[in-house]
Structure formats: C-alpha cells, structure tokens
Amino acid sequence: MVRALDTKLLRDLWHMRGQALAIALVIGAATATFVMAMGVHHSLTQTRDAYYDRNGYADIFVTMVRAPRSVVEQLAAIDGVAQAEGRIEQFATLEMPGRIAPVRAVINSVGDGGASTLNRLVLLRGRGPVSDKAGEVVIDKAFADANAVHLGDRIDAIIYGSRTRLEVVGIGLAPDYIWSIAPGELVPDASRYGIFWMGEKALEAASNRQGAINAVALKMDRGAKEAEIIRHVDTLTSQYGGTGAIGRKDHLSNAFLQSELDQLEAMTRIIPPIFLLVSTFLVYVVLGRTIRTEREEIGLLKAFGHTSASVGWHYLKFALAIALLGIVLGSAAGWWMGRSMTGQYAEYYRFPFLYYQVSAPVFLAGAALAFGSAAIGAMGGVRKAVTLSPAVAMSPPPPPVYHAGWIERLGEKAGLSAVGNMIVRHIARWPGRSGVTVFGVALSLGLLFSVLQFIDSSRAMLDNYFFRAQRQDISVSFIEPRNEKVLSELASMPGVIRVEQARAVPVMLRSGPRSKRVAIEAASSDDRLTSRVDAQGFEVALPASGLMLSRALADHLGVSVGDRVEVELLGGRQTSTTMPIASTIDELIGTRAYAQSDVLSRLSRDGAPVGSANLLIDHARRDELIGRLADMPMVLGVTERDAAMGLFQRIIDENIMSMMGFYIAFASAIAIGVVYNSARILYSERAHELATLRVLGYHRNEVGIVLLGEVALLVVMAVPVGCVVGYWLARLMVAMFSSDLFRLPFAPERSSYGVATLVVLAATTATAVIVARRVNRLDMVRVLKAHD
Amino acid sequence: MQLRLFYACTMEKCADQQGTNGRAAAFVGRALRKTYVTGETQVHALRGVDLEIYAGEVLVLLGPSGSGKSTLLNIIGGLDRPTAGELWYGETELTALDDAALTRFRRANIGFVFQFYNLIPSLTAEENVRLVTDISDDPMHPADALDLVGLAERRTHFPAQLSGGEQQRVAVARAIAKRPGVLLCDEPTGALDSQTGIRVLETLAQANRELGTTLILITHNAGIAAMADRVFNFLDGQIASIAVNEKRISASEMAW
C-alpha cells in the first residue's frame, strides 16, 4: 500500500509538474551530454582496441628511402621487438576519367592474397591481390564509395613515372588507415586520396624496388620500452635514409582518433557539470520555496508523530524523483544522440565494424551524478524541514520585512513608479534566488556563446591558414626531389604567374632528454606566396640565421630563444649539428620549425632539391594547367587551395549544424528551466499582490509587467554576466580541446555574443510569457477575503 | 421606455432625474442572480435582487455569512458578474462590459478597502497610495491622501512597520486618493480593535462627507449600521429588508 506521505509526494509533484519538468530537463541535459560523450568515447575506444587487436596494428613505424629486405630481420632482432614486417609504400597519381582535379593514392605492398602479419587488411568485398600479378589492387572503402569505384573496375595510375593499369580486385580497410590524409593536405578528402594495397612482387616491379622496402612496422613485446626500441630502430635505419621511427601516439591515423577521443573526454568534463550546477541551484530554490509554503503541513506531520528524519526524507525524495525523471529523459536522449554521433564518426573514421553500445556503468555514473547534484540542492531545504519545530511550523511565517535601505532610496532617486519599486525591492529582498536566476541564465548564454565561439574559432583557423599563410593557388609535390630546373619548367607552363620552391627537410630535434621529429620548412626572403602567420594573424619574418620554432615545439623541447638544439638530419645524410633558436612563433597548427633557405641548404649540403612548389596561376587557364601537370612525370600531387578550403569549410559546417541543434536545445533548456521556475515562484509568491492590483484597476497586461518586469530585469542583468561567463568558458574549452596536432584560437566574432543573447532572450521571453498568462487566472474575489 | 431613460442617466448629467425617494441613483440592479457551481452542487448566492443605490449615500450591507452580501459587493465593484440580471452604473450597463472595460470602470470609479488591508509589503505607505494615483486621471497627491487619514508622518514607513489600524488607514488613503465615485469596503474593521475600528470608520465617513463618495460597507457589526443612511439586510441571497436611518450617527458615537 502506498503510504500517505508518498501519496502527498506524488500529488505535490503533479501539482508542480511544470517546475519539476523544467528542472528535469536541465538534469536531463546533463545526463544526455554525459551519456552521449561517454557512450561515444567508450564505443569508439572499444571498437578501436578490438580492431587494433584483431588486425595486428603495429606499435612502431619507420619509413626509409630504400632498404634491403634484410633490414627487417635486423629490426626483429632488437630486444623487445616481437614482430617486424617490411613493406613498400608507394605514391601514385591516378587518372580518373572526367576528373580535372588530381587524384592520388598511396599503394602499400601486401603478401599473397592480401596477407600480412601486422596492420592486416580487412577485405570487405572481393579478394586480395595475387602477389606477382601486376596491377591487382585492393582499394579502401571510403575511396571506392566517394568515387563510385566497383570491383572489377580499372584505374590508370602513374607509378614511379610510368603508367600502369590497375584492376580493383577487392575493397577493404586496415587499422593503420582509420584516418588518412594526403601529404601536404590539411583536410582529408577520400575522393582525391586513396589507400591501395598491391601484391608485393607486383609493387616491387612497379616501383623499381626489387628486394627492397621503404617502410617497416614493429610489434613490441609486452612491457618493452618504446623509447629504447625507437632509438635502436633509428640507429639501424639511418643508413637507409630512415626518417625516424614513431610510436602509435605519433602515427597520424591513431593520433587523430586519439585527439577526437580526448575532445570527447574534455566535453564530459566541461558541459555536464554546467547543467548539474544549474540543476543543483534550481532544486535548492524550488524545494526551499516549497518547504516555506508547507511550513504548517510540516508542523502538522511532526505533531502527528512523524520523525524529523522521515519528513526530511520525504522532501529529499521530492528532489530525487525530479532527478529520476531527468535521468530517464537524459539517458534516452543521450543514447539516441550518441548513436547519431557515432554514425557521423563512422564517416570520418574507417572501421570495419562500429559497435555503438553504452555500458551500464556509464548510465549508472550519469544517474549518480544527477542524483548527487539534486541531493546537494535539496540539502538546504531538507535541513530546514528537519529542524523546524512543530510549534513554530504551525504558525504562519513572519511576513517579509522591507526596510528603507539603499536600494529603496535608489529606486526613489531614480524616480521609479510604485510598480518599478515593487520589482526592484523584490529582487533585493531575495538576493540568493535572484542570483540563481541571473547566474543560471548567464550560464545558458555562456554555454551557447562558447559553442558559437567554436565555429568562429574553426573559421579563424581557416582564415589564418588559408588566407593569410597560404596564398598560392596550387601546390605541386614530386614523387622524389627534383633539381632546380623543374622550377623554370613549371614557370613556363600555361597560366603560371609565379613559382616558388617549397622545401622541408625531415630532422630530429633534441634538447637534453627531449626530442621531436619534425620537418624544417624553408623559405627565402623574396617568397610572396607563403608566410608564417601567428595565432593573432600577424606575419612573422624568418630570422636571418638559426631556427624559428613554433611555440608548441619550443615548449615540447623545453627550449627558448637563445638556446641551442641538436639537429639530426633524417632520411639521407645522417649528420648531426647544433643550431641556435633565433625566434619562436605562436602558431595554431602542428609543431613546426622554420629556417631561411640558405640556412637550410648549409645544413643539408644537398644542393636544395625541389620537393614541392607553390604556384600562383591565372584562373582562366586552370583546367589546361592541371591537365599538363597531371601529365608531367614525377608529379605526385597537385593541391588546389580553394578546393581544400571549401572542403574544410564544408566539414566545419556539417559538424556545426548537427552540434548546434543540440547545444541550442541544451542552452535553451537551462534558460527555460531557470526562468520558468523563477517566474512560477514569483507568481505564487505574488499572486495575492497581483490580484490586489487587478482589484485596484490595473489591467492584465499592467499586472503582467509586475511579474515579467522582475524576470526581465534579472535576464537583462544576466546578459553581461553571461558574456563574461561565455568568454572564460570558451577560453577553457579552447584550451581543453587543443592537442599536439592543432590549437584552436580564441577568436569570437562579435555577432556570437549577439546570437547567444538573442537565443537566450527568445527562450526566456517565451517561457516568461507562458507563466504570465496565469495572470488571467488570478482570483480577485478571493483576495478580498483572504489573508496573504 | 421610462426605465431605459432612467437607466441611461448618470449622476452628473441627470441630476434632475430623481429616484423614487428624490435622490440620484448611482447603481440600479434588476433581477440579479448569481449561481456558483462547485462540483455537483449549485450554490445560489443571489436569488433575484432588485436594488437602487443612491449617489453619495452611506449604505451598510448586513447579514449572516453566505447571505449574498459579498457576492453583491463583488458584482457592484466589477470583480464578478451575475449569472442573470442587469446592473447599471449611471448610463453604463456593467453586466454588458468585458474584462478590460470592467477594469477601466474600477480604475475610474471604485475604491476598495479590504478586511486584511492588502497593502504591498515592499512599498511604503506613500508608494502604496501611488499605486493608485499612478493610474488615475485626477488623483490627489499621495501625501494629501495620507494627510486625510492622519498618517502624513508615517508616509515613508513600510507596512511591516505600521500597526493594523495604521495599515487599514493607508488602505483607506489608497482607496480615496483617486477621488472615486464609490468606496466599497468589505469588513474594513473586521481585523481591528474597537478604537482603531472607529478611527477607520471616521475616515471613511469623512471621505463620504467631504468628497461626496458613495460608501458601501459590508459588516457583521450591527452597531456600524447606525452610521448608514440605509441598511440592506441580507438573507438567503435576497435583500430581506431595507432599513432607513432618519438620523445618522457619527462613528465616534456608535456602540461597537
């Protein structure tokens, strides 16, 4: 049988259903974001780990210019290495009919039928290539989908300078290419960059590498030390032009996935706490008010012999019941949102399977957080209910006392009307509750602003990188470094206005125990097409001598201007020297190092081969030029700035559109929850006064102003507070979402403050108007007889 | 036709159109009925009341609880509507007005005094009066209204700093400050001791005398009836009898 107190609880909840639902929505938003982020994080991690495990994802990767196959055995013999496998990685240019923009692929060698011990290929359709059958390839699923390539289709490719006809015998995936990007590109584009696998013998023949390889993957023994193995690997591979071994955390595919996972984790640490904080305050305010109005009932219950503990538990259950509703709504919403988000990840990250599954502990942790924050919010009210003595409780509470304080005089000085004074004094009379309203609305605005800032930040990065730092129209990269003659060859092509050499030399920088593998990028002082732009958007000149390091790299190495770092050349002449750090630059993308061309030439002493070039072109002759470049032997890639920029923009927009909907809804949930409760409490407290005003001859809308005026004033006060909260929240998010790969700038558009404010104002106005319609229900007749 | 003409009069315009006893009628009601439905039971609060209330008179409504006097007062004050019947205030048919027009009617013509004062606790005495003068066409200065009730010195005090009698006098000042045609008082002394009650009644009588305001009082205190021109005795939703006082006594002379 349901106890009478529980019946009261259910009726009270039903009676206050609007307020309870508003709080439940805020708690639900907390639970939803928590379940979504943790659920997606968990699902991606599980999927990744299972994929890595089943398909032998390697622990260490090294690429070389050219090494004999025997190097694999040497590397396998290193203490702590469990397995080693060598392969060829060869870039190719593809000739896709009807496509002007260049399409490229990296072709990896595999054993017969696609077999390998590490980074094993998953065949989704078709079969693996026969080892010595020329032209048989497996292509990655994303490329196949993006270009509508099917089994049995043929693609013409330029491999190592000669045209080869490839036949698609299979479509697959591999754990080392969960995420991939063409060299020199900023944005992945599966339609223009493919991952192919070809039989070992066939690729040896096509790339002129009989008996040779250029990449090795290693699997470590359990407990082996990665850094030590890498040192051994570097020593062994240096003679073959090794460019420095890297562990999983530096392997591009894994690093990007990891940075995504880190962002999800950061999200669970920022967003749910905001909602929980607001819901704690709401429970505090609403339960506090309920207990004030139920003083007499509390006295009665105690007089009848209910213990203080049972009365306290009764009110705690009130808060927990609201939390339960929020948990149920939030868990369902979070599960659903997580599923749609996981679906989106499946488009960017290539898994053969993607298990979306939210484990029970995630739901339980979400529930525990929600119950906990509701219970904390309930503490103040419950304590009051527990400590009220029955005799005191059964007498009505003393009326609110107003004194002529400075606020009262302020209102008088400001020439406020009587109604104006009612509004201002009520706010001042309940500073805690007014504060909660201001703070809650401010948090809602702040949250929305920080999300909008995210968009601005991505656009600023786009602007910084593409508009300011990269002014070329086209970048051309070569399969192997060319001599300087290629520059004049390019300059004489149709539509080319300007040609500049772009050069990067892979090195290992060391300072004490710290080291980082980077490429030193060279530029000469008369370069016009590229420049170094810092996070603030200012161009930074290269020092005449010495190195310029990005701030992130300098921090990583623990060095500052004036220090010297050890520079070890990789991938060719393995020499080592020390160079001074002449300056640092605060950059957004990557850990990078720069030097003047002549400084770099003196370092490398190799006659400055041309690895790639930047072109400024006449757009009218673009198609003709692209066609000529595609025919040029040894051209590996042609990157068009506008296309990359457009793609980047599209990715930002797609992500934003889906995320924005969620966040506008969530931020509105806070604003609605806070304002609805604030207005409802205000209404119930002032119903008697409002009815009196109606009797005195105030029209409904005039009485509505008394009710809405206070809410409006608090919301207006919340706007500047919200902008400040948003500013710091956005800074916090930018800091937490930045990784080694890129750093988000804090670059809000002014309009973002405006948009956030407008959304919050719209949500609060709509909510307040709904409550204000209760003015129609004021009972003027009762007020004549009733005590307040 | 004669009746229509009569209804169409206002106190000012038709001063020559006299009521049955030679005085101008402020309110004329015909066959007023009010039925409340609560659940499955019907409560007949008014069962066909005809009445005339004269401009400038002091009228006391007497009767036991539930006899219909408050219902009538609410209908006269434009707070409630009869289920059937007509009520005219001068040339205005109150029973035909919508909510906004009724509000305008209250704003322009009616002053209310409640049993429990109904002051706004966050406003000082003077500001409570300003609540009304802010929305009136030709109000007194709030300080003058407070002066009239003898509270000029207490104008900056908040309700919590005033005694019950003082609070009720602020309520009276609030009611008279707009120079209303009609003052409606529902048990204005119900929560006061005799001395304070008499003081409040004196103030109301003064408003009636000096401003010519029609004063309609509900009371359970039969002694108060002595200060009225007429007394409506209510019983079971009807006016059982009307008593006319040949000689009114002042509040200070009345037996409490």
Give B160's contacts in chain A (Cβ within 8 Å).
Answer: 399-402
User: With an 8 Å Cβ cutoff, is B179 touching chain A?
Assistant: no
Q: How far apart are CA A489 and CA A635, in angstroms?
A: 12
Indicate whether B9 pLDDT > 70: no
Indicate whether B256 pLDDT > 80: no
Q: Would you state the pLDDT for residue B15?
A: 35
The whole-angstrom distance between B114's CA and the closest CA on chain A is 6
Indicate whether B8 pLDDT > 50: no
Domains of chain B with CATH codes:
2-253 (3.40.50.300)
Q: How far apart are CA A783 and CA A123, in angstroms?
A: 79
Q: How far apart are CA A339 and CA A452, in angstroms?
A: 23
User: With an 8 Å Cβ cutoff, is A425 touching chain B?
Assistant: yes
Q: How far apart are CA A356 and CA A381, in angstroms?
A: 41
- The interaxial angle of helices A308-348 and A641-695, nearest 10 deg, is 150
Q: How far apart are CA B46 and CA B60, in angstroms?
A: 17
**For an interface test with A, which of B38, B122, B185, B216 has the most A Cβ atoms less than 10 Å from its Cβ?**
B122
pLDDT tens digits, one per residue of A682-703: 888 888 889 999 999 999 888 9
One-letter identity of residue A576? S
Classify strands B238-244 and B230-235 as parallel, antiparallel or unpaired. antiparallel
DSSP characters over A44-76: HHHHHHHHHHHTT--SEEEEEEEEETHHHHHHH
- Select from A753, A756, A757, A767 the least CA-distant residue to A669: A767
Beta carbons of B123 and A787 less than 8 Å apart: no
Indicate whether B17 pLDDT > 70: no
Listed range (A16-30, A328-342, A733-747) with the worst mean pLDDT: A733-747
pLDDT tens digits, one per residue of A263-293: 888 888 888 898 899 889 889 988 988 888 8
End-to-end Cα separation, chain B, in angstroms: 46
Beta carbons of B130 and A417 less than 8 Å apart: yes
Q: How far apart are CA A761 and CA A677, in angstroms?
A: 16
3-class SS of residue A575: coil
Give B112's contacts in chain A (Cβ within 8 Å).
Answer: 695-696, 784
- Select from A549, A543, A542 the least CA-distant residue to A563: A549
Count other Cβ atoms within 10 Å, centred on residue A740: 16
- Select from A435, A452, A447 the least CA-distant residue to A726: A447
- Select from B24, B25, B29, B19 the least CA-distant residue to B68: B29
User: With an 8 Å Cβ cutoff, is A488 touching chain B?
Assistant: no
Give Dmax over CA atoms of chain A in angstroms: 104
In the structure encoding, which two tokens stand for residue A505, read together? 């030399």
Give the 3-state DSSP-derived string for B166-218, with helices as H, strands as E and coil as C. Answer: HHHHHHHHHHHCCCCCEEEEECCCCCCCHHHHHHHHHHHHHHHHHHCCEEEEE
Q: Would you state the pLDDT for residue A741?
A: 67
Q: Would you state the pLDDT for residue B22?
A: 52
Among chain A residues, the shortest Cα distance to B108 is held by A697
CB A364 within 8 A of CB A193: no
Among chain B residues, the shortest Cα distance to A417 is held by B134
In the structure encoding, which two tokens stand for residue A181, read together? 């990007």
DSSP category for residue A252: H
Q: Which single residue is written with the structure tokens 């429970």? A: A283
- Segment A390-417 mean pLDDT: 72
- Segment A316-341 mean pLDDT: 94
Give B115's contacts in chain A (Cβ within 8 Å).
Answer: 784-785
Q: How confident is the model at residue A581 (pLDDT cuts 50, 70, 90)?
A: very high
Residue A31 burial (10 A CB sphere; 0-12, 13-18, 19+): buried
CB B246 within 8 A of CB B74: no
Judged by CB atoms within 8 Å, which residues 691-720 of A form the interface with B? 692-700, 702
Q: How confident is the model at residue A83 (pLDDT cuts 50, 70, 90)?
A: very high
- Segment A544-563 mean pLDDT: 91
pLDDT tens digits, one per residue of A148-158: 999 999 999 98
- Select from A159, A228, A239, A245 the least CA-distant residue to A194: A159
One-letter identity of residue A126? G
Phi-psi group of A106: left, alpha or beta (phi > 0 → left; psi -120 to 50 → alpha; rest → beta): beta
Give B43's contacts in chain A (Cβ within 8 Å).
Answer: none
Q: Would you state the pLDDT for residue B96?
A: 93
DSSP category for residue A465: I
Q: How far apart are CA A604 and CA A587, in angstroms?
A: 25
Beta carbons of B127 and A418 less than 8 Å apart: yes
DSSP characters over B118-145: ---TTS-HHHHHHHHHTT-SSPPPHHHH
- The mean pLDDT value of chain A amounts to 87
Give A418's contacts in chain B (Cβ within 8 Å).
Answer: 120, 123, 127-128, 130-131, 134
